[in-house]
């Protein structure tokens, strides 16, 4: 004989009791206590669209709390002038944080902010309101960039001053740069051998100053090629560089009185892709065997491939780049290398114009400033580290690092 | 006029963007200018592509020396463009299954992906690998002890070449440990002279100092050249003086 | 004999280089690696994070540099997966998209049981803009990334639903071949917002980043040697990795690297011997 394990009515009651007790889920934790002292101030050195919201953390936000109560802070705002406006979430800050920058304000509008502590279980505290609405203030000058501006004005002023001095007729001593002296020789050699010249203006676009500098050297090389009746080929890696190079070469041929000798197909675009470009150029070099190769611009890993290929065909090679990582390859493999600022000096040097040469002296002022800052900074830092007291010296080093050289100064 | 207008545009835009670095209101203008540049470059890209096709088609039609390479170039250009734009082998994206072309053009298994994996990837790696061969030939040809500086360069090259491999540790770790133990009773006393440690010092101190000096000079060169271009002192990028 | 070397055809040099690289690979020649302090710091930065931490895997390299950087990236991926961290893959290079895919393949094939897309890892893919992308995602990621690489809305993916910006990351792991890359991540993210960061770069790019260590960059892996040391550290800490041949890619490459370096040293010595011999011969005449 079998028996049922329990009375049907009581089992139903038991199930109901279990459901009531467990169906609603675990007992909900109390929401965290709200943060306090919410203050809102203008974000300095901005265009009036930034405000900074600060608060004191919730009393439940303890760094060593286990389990953690507060997960984050929700920052909300509304347009204070609009009576129908609702608070909207504009940002979240992690637990422990006490501020948030709101950079998406509209200028001229007063915003009222509130901060809510949110628990790990997404429960929310009461809102802590800011005392009053705040409007962003437009600052016309970014005060943190003052040192940058000052140094920029001094350096640029020095360049302009030396240009003026040179224009006044005073002789300026500029050292010889072997690579630039060799440009004429290289083009002449190519003409004598009846072979072409190859000019590679780098692989970056025209918005890079190295490419601009390369194009200015191209102008001079093209003028020489026109004068000596040598063929010049300019394969480019960017379409805009191709169009600029064509204009430059055409103008150079026109100036040399040889507009008929100009062939626009000699300045051509290959590909934007780095190794595709260098494969095409080295293929051209091996087939056409130019007698003179000029590498003037920004290069990356392809620099050694170009230089070694040029070496294998017996070409005279002049390179110029401002990529420090590629300079060793060019120095090792090319006949002449323009290192860094020598390359930027090329246009002034090749033109021979006095006012352009004056600008080279102006750069030296910048170097003096740079050298001076390095010496002063190293001296201060050394003395500060040797000094037992943590006072003026450390402060001076910090000011130098943070305001003159750091984020507030020369760094963008 | 042909040169004056570009000079004025260059000067105006250049100085405005310099000033915008200091005026918070105008700080986004630099980003806008870059977007304009990207749009210009995109149009110029079409120009470059058309020029590429023109030159190579001319070369093929007149059968100049090396026209076979031009055939390969034009064929590769056309095939890549057709397969890429046509999204051959691309299945619709999971988020937009009703649109045939909603999948990513580089989707695994697609025609473009296949070309990337089995044509572009090996070719790019091969070109990069050429550097190893060329550095060997450059080292043989160019690293000669002609003077004091060249000797210093050579010694440094030997230290770095050996220190960057197990050879540096094998050559110096045990001998220096023995020497340190013998002279100072501490095998780590002379560990700073291990080749791998010396390499870190060379790269972190001497090499970095030289790099920084070059970079300062480069930055000043860029400032001076940019100023000359903006002021119109240097116009060689526009062509001749006339 | 002297004339042979004086007028040596460079193709003999190329052949020699080919042999010295191929033979050690074929013979499986490998050498022990002793991790440097820098490599240990990088390892510790990943290993000491609590399980389930948020890691931004910013891989900015292309097929050309894959040989040098892929072992680094793969080692980082395996290490983070071993620690069951949450991985957010991102890149600033268009050519790096397949590189992200290959690292995700590692997760799917080797850690498939523990790793589910959307819950443990997500692929945000590429956005154009170079360092501009960093400047935006460091404050508001969803301004640029509305969807992942498969077109899925980030609001619908569990691990990105509440992701506001990369300041919520516990660590940035960057493998970079150039620009934009490690320097930009340091300048615009790690340094400015004090996000912990480690980086792996090519040998050529490493010197430019040394100034950032250790203040802005916790550690730096420079070149394939550092990658090999990292792999060795990983195998020492987690011996089960030793059974997987894919985990010692960099270690395998150190054999050819050593022999190739010795070959180059020999070539330099030979070149100088020829130079001095010719000089003496010329002087004698």
Residue A59 lies in a domain: yes
List of chains touching A (3+ CB pairs within 8 A): B, C
Asked if B238 lies within 8 A of A287 by C-beta distance, the reply is no
Asked if A340 lies within 8 A of B214 by C-beta distance, the reply is yes
Show residues of chain A in contact with C204, CB under 8 Å: 301, 325
CA distance C201 to chain B (A): 14
Residue labelled with tokens 């943590």: A390
**pLDDT tens profile A130-173:** 999 999 998 888 888 888 888 888 888 888 888 888 888 877 77
Residue A73 lies in a domain: yes
Residue A6 lies in a domain: no
Q: Are residues A340 and A193 in the same domain?
A: yes
Q: Are residues A222 and A286 in the same domain?
A: yes
Q: Are residues B116 and B180 in the same domain?
A: no
Q: Are residues B160 and B236 in the same domain?
A: yes
Asked if B31 lies within 8 A of C21 by C-beta distance, the reply is no
What are the structure tokens assigned to C274, written together?
Answer: 């020829």
Give CA torsion, residues C128, C129, C130, C136, to 10 deg: -110
Is residue A5's pLDDT more than 50?
Answer: no
Mean pLDDT of B219-238: 83
List of chains touching B (3+ CB pairs within 8 A): A, C
Q: Are residues A193 and A84 in the same domain?
A: no
Contacts of C186 (CB under 8 A, 6+ apart): C197, C199, C209, C212, C216, C217
Q: Are residues B189 and B165 in the same domain?
A: yes
Helix (H, G, I), strand (E, B) or coil at A6: coil
Banded model confidence at residue C123, pLDDT cuts 50, 70, 90: very high
Q: Which residue of B has its CA nearest to A242?
A: B48
State the CATH number of the domain containing residue A109.
Answer: 2.60.40.10
State the CATH number of the domain containing residue A227.
Answer: 3.40.50
Please tell me whether the peptide bond between C214 and the residue prior to it is cis, using omega within 30 degrees of 0.
yes
Does residue A407 sit at the C interface (CB-CB below 8 Å)? yes
Give CA torsion, residues A347, A349, A352, A355, to 10 deg: 80
Q: Are residues B68 and B151 in the same domain?
A: no
CA distance A12 to chain B (A): 47
Banded model confidence at residue C94, pLDDT cuts 50, 70, 90: confident
Q: Are residues B182 and B204 in the same domain?
A: yes
CA triple C135-C138-C144, angle to 5 deg:
75
CA distance A67 to chain B (A): 39
Closest CA to C58 of C228, C185, C178: C185
| CB interface of C with B, residues 138-197, below 8 Å | 147, 149-153
Asked if C192 lies within 8 A of A407 by C-beta distance, the reply is yes
Q: Are residues A338 and A210 in the same domain?
A: yes
CA triple B111-B113-B119, angle to 5 deg:
95
Show residues of chain C in contact with A92, CB under 8 Å: 164
CA distance A165 to chain C (A): 38
Residue A232 lies in a domain: yes
Domain span at residue A281 reads 178-344
List of chains touching C (3+ CB pairs within 8 A): A, B
Q: Assign domain C38-257 to its CATH architecture.
A: 3-Layer(aba) Sandwich (3.40)
Q: Are residues B129 and B149 in the same domain?
A: no
Distance CA A214, CA C156 (A): 50
Q: What is the pLDDT of residue B96?
A: 82
Whether complex ipTM tops 0.90? no
> Burial code of B54-77, b = ≥16 C-beta within 10 A, e = fewer?
ebbeebbeeeeeeeebbeebbeee
Mean pLDDT of C137-166: 87
Show residues of chain A in contact with B228, CB under 8 Å: 159, 347-348, 356, 359
Q: Taking a C-beta distance cutoff of 8 angstroms, is the pair B78, B62 a contact?
A: no
Q: Which residue of A has its CA nearest to C178?
A: A300
Please tell me whether the peptide bond between C180 and the residue prior to it is cis, using omega within 30 degrees of 0.
yes
Residue B114 lies in a domain: yes
Q: Are residues A325 and A235 in the same domain?
A: yes
**pLDDT tens profile A346-356:** 878 887 777 77
Strands (E), A201-340: 232-236, 267-269, 292-296, 316-321, 336-339
Asked if A312 lies within 8 A of C10 by C-beta distance, the reply is yes
Show residues of chain C in contact with B125, CB under 8 Å: 63-64, 66-67
Name the domain count of chain B.
3
Residue A160 lies in a domain: no
Does residue A29 sit at the B interface (CB-CB below 8 Å)? no
Domain boundary among A101, A116, A135: A135
Mean pLDDT of B124-146: 90
**pLDDT tens profile A115-134:** 999 988 888 999 999 999 99
Does residue C11 sit at the A interface (CB-CB below 8 Å)? no
Residue B63 lies in a domain: yes
Closest CA to A359 of B226, B218, B7: B226
Q: Are residues B148 and B240 in the same domain?
A: yes
Q: Which residue of B has its CA nearest to A321?
A: B218
Q: What is the pLDDT of residue A315?
A: 95
Name the domain count of chain A.
2
Asked if A325 lies within 8 A of C164 by C-beta distance, the reply is no
Segments making up each domain of chain C, as ranges: 38-257
Domain span at residue B120 reads 87-133
Q: Are residues B126 and B169 in the same domain?
A: no
Domain boundary among A344, A365, A381: A344
Does residue C25 sit at the B interface (CB-CB below 8 Å)? no
Q: Are residues B222 and B165 in the same domain?
A: yes
Residue B166 lies in a domain: yes
Q: Are residues B171 and B230 in the same domain?
A: yes
User: Average model confidence (pLDDT) for chain C?
Assistant: 90
What are the structure tokens assigned to A141, written together?
Answer: 């000058």
Does residue A66 sit at the C interface (CB-CB below 8 Å)? no
Is residue B2's pLDDT more than 60?
Answer: yes
**pLDDT tens profile A269-317:** 999 989 999 999 999 999 999 999 999 999 988 999 999 999 999 999 9
Output the CA torsion sign for A96, A98, A103, A109.
positive
Mean pLDDT of C73-92: 95
Asked if B93 lies within 8 A of C262 by C-beta distance, the reply is no
Asked if C8 lies within 8 A of B140 by C-beta distance, the reply is yes
Strands (E), A211-362: 232-236, 267-269, 292-296, 316-321, 336-339
Mean pLDDT of C239-253: 89
User: Average model confidence (pLDDT) for chain A?
Assistant: 86
Among B45, B215, B237, select the one facing A239 at the smallest CB separation.
B45
Asked if B132 lies within 8 A of C65 by C-beta distance, the reply is no
| CB interface of C with B, residues 75-114, below 8 Å | 97-98, 101
Banded model confidence at residue B242, pLDDT cuts 50, 70, 90: very low
Cβ-based neighbour number of residue A238 at 10 Å = 27
CA distance A326 to chain C (A): 9
Q: Taking a C-beta distance cutoff of 8 angstroms, is the pair A332, B143 a contact?
A: yes
Show residues of chain B in contact with C210, CB under 8 Å: 203-204, 208
Is residue A22's pLDDT more than 50?
Answer: no
More confident residue, A48 or A68: A48
pTM of the full structure: 0.81
Is residue C214's pLDDT more than 90?
Answer: no
Please state at what angle helix C66-82 crosses helix C37-47, rounded to 10 degrees.
Answer: 40
Domain boundary among A109, A135, A161: A135
Q: Are residues B76 and B7 in the same domain?
A: yes
Q: Are residues B185 and B212 in the same domain?
A: yes
Output the CA torsion sign for C127, C132, C133, C136.
negative
Contacts of C226 (CB under 8 A, 6+ apart): C36, C38, C39, C72, C200, C220
Residue B138 lies in a domain: no
Please tell me whether the peptide bond between A67 and the residue prior to it is cis, using omega within 30 degrees of 0.
yes
């Amino acid at each position: 004989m079998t028996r049922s394990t329990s009375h049907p009515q009581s089992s139903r009651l038991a199930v109901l009791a279990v459901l009531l007790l467990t169906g609603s889920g675990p007992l909900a934790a109390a929401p965290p206590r709200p943060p306090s002292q919410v203050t809102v101030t203008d974000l300095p050195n901005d265009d009036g669209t930034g405000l900074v919201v600060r608060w004191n953390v919730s009393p439940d936000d303890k760094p060593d709390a286990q389990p953690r109560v507060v997960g984050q802070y929700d920052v909300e705002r509304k347009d204070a002038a609009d009576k129908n406006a609702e608070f909207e979430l504009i940002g979240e800050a992690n637990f422990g944080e006490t501020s948030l920058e709101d950079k998406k304000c509209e200028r001229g509008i007063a915003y009222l902010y509130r901060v809510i502590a949110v628990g790990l279980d997404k429960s929310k505290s009461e809102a802590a309101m800011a005392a009053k609405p705040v409007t962003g203030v437009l600052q016309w000058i970014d005060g943190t960039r003052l040192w940058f501006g000052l140094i920029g004005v001094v350096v640029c002023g020095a360049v302009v001053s030396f240009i003026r001095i040179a224009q006044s007729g005073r002789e300026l001593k500029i050292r010889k740069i072997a690579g630039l002296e060799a440009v004429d020789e290289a083009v002449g050699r190519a003409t004598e051998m009846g072979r072409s010249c190859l000019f590679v203006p780098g692989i970056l676009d025209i918005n890079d100053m190295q490419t601009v500098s390369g194009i200015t050297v191209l102008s001079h090389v093209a003028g020489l090629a026109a004068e000596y009746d040598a063929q010049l080929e300019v394969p480019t890696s960017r379409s805009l560089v191709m169009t600029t190079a064509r204009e430059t070469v055409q103008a150079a041929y026109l100036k040399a009185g040889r507009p008929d000798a100009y062939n626009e197909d000699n300045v051509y675009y290959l590909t934007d892709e780095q190794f595709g470009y260098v494969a095409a150029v080295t293929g051209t070099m091996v087939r056409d065997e130019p007698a003179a190769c000029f590498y003037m611009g920004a290069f990356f890993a392809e620099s050694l491939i170009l230089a070694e290929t040029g070496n294998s065909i017996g070409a005279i090679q002049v390179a110029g780049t401002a990529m420090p990582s590629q300079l060793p390859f060019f120095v090792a493999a090319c006949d002449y290398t323009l290192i860094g600022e020598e390359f930027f000096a090329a246009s002034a040097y090749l033109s021979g114009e006095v006012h352009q040469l004056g600008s080279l002296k102006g750069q030296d002022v910048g170097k003096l400033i740079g050298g001076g800052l390095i010496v002063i900074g190293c001296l201060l830092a050394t003395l500060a580290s040797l000094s037992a007291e943590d006072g003026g010296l450390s402060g001076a080093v910090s000011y130098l690092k943070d305001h003159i050289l750091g984020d507030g100064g020369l760094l963008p | 006029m042909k040169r004056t207008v570009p000079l004025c545009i260059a000067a105006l835009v250049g100085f405005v963007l310099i000033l915008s670095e200091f005026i918070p209101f105008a700080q986004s203008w630099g980003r806008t200018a870059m977007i304009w540049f990207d749009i210009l470059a995109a149009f110029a890209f079409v120009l470059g592509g058309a020029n590429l096709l023109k030159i190579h088609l001319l070369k093929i039609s007149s059968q100049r020396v090396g026209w076979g390479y031009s055939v390969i170039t034009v064929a590769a250009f056309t095939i890549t463009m057709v397969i890429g734009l046509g999204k051959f082998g691309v299945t619709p994206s999971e988020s937009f299954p009703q649109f045939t072309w909603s999948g990513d053009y580089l989707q695994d298994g697609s025609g473009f992906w296949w070309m990337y994996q089995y044509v572009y990837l090996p070719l790019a790696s091969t070109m990069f690998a050429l550097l190893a061969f060329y550095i060997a030939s450059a080292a043989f040809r160019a690293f000669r002890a002609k003077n004091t500086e060249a000797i210093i360069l050579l010694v440094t090259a030997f230290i770095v070449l050996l220190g960057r491999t197990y050879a540096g540790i094998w050559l110096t770790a045990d001998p220096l440990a023995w020497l340190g133990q013998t002279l100072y009773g501490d095998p780590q006393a002379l560990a700073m002279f291990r080749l791998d440690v010396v390499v870190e010092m060379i790269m972190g101190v001497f090499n970095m100092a030289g790099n920084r000096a070059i970079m300062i000079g480069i930055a000043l060169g860029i400032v001076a050249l940019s100023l000359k271009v903006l002021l119109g002192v240097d116009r060689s990028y526009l062509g001749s003086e006339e | 004999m002297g004339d042979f070397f004086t007028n040596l055809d460079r193709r003999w040099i190329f052949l020699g280089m080919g042999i010295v690289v191929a033979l050690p690979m074929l013979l499986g020649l490998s050498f022990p690696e002793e991790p440097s302090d820098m490599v240990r710091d990088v390892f510790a930065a990943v290993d000491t994070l609590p399980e389930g931490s948020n890691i931004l895997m910013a891989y900015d390299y292309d097929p050309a540099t894959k040989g040098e950087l892929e072992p680094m990236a793969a080692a980082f991926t395996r290490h983070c997966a071993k620690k069951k961290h949450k991985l957010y893959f991102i890149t600033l290079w268009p050519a790096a998209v397949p590189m992200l895919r290959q690292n995700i393949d590692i997760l799917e094939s080797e850690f498939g049981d523990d790793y589910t897309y959307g819950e443990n890892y997500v692929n945000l893919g590429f956005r154009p803009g170079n360092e501009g992308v960093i400047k935006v995602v460091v404050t508001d990621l969803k301004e640029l990334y509305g969807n992942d690489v498969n077109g899925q809305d980030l609001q619908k993916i569990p691990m990105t639903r509440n992701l506001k910006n990369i300041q919520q990351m516990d660590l940035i792991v960057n493998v970079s071949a150039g620009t934009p890359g490690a320097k930009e991540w340091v300048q615009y993210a790690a340094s400015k917002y004090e996000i912990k960061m480690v980086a792996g770069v090519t040998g050529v790019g490493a010197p430019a980043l040394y100034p950032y260590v250790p203040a802005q960059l916790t550690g730096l892996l420079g070149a394939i040697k550092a990658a090999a040391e990292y792999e060795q550290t990983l195998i020492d800490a987690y011996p089960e990795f030793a059974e997987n041949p894919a985990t010692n890619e960099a270690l395998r490459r150190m054999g050819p690297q050593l022999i190739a370096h010795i070959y180059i040293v020999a070539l330099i010595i030979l070149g100088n011997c020829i130079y001095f011999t010719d000089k003496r011969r010329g002087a004698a005449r």
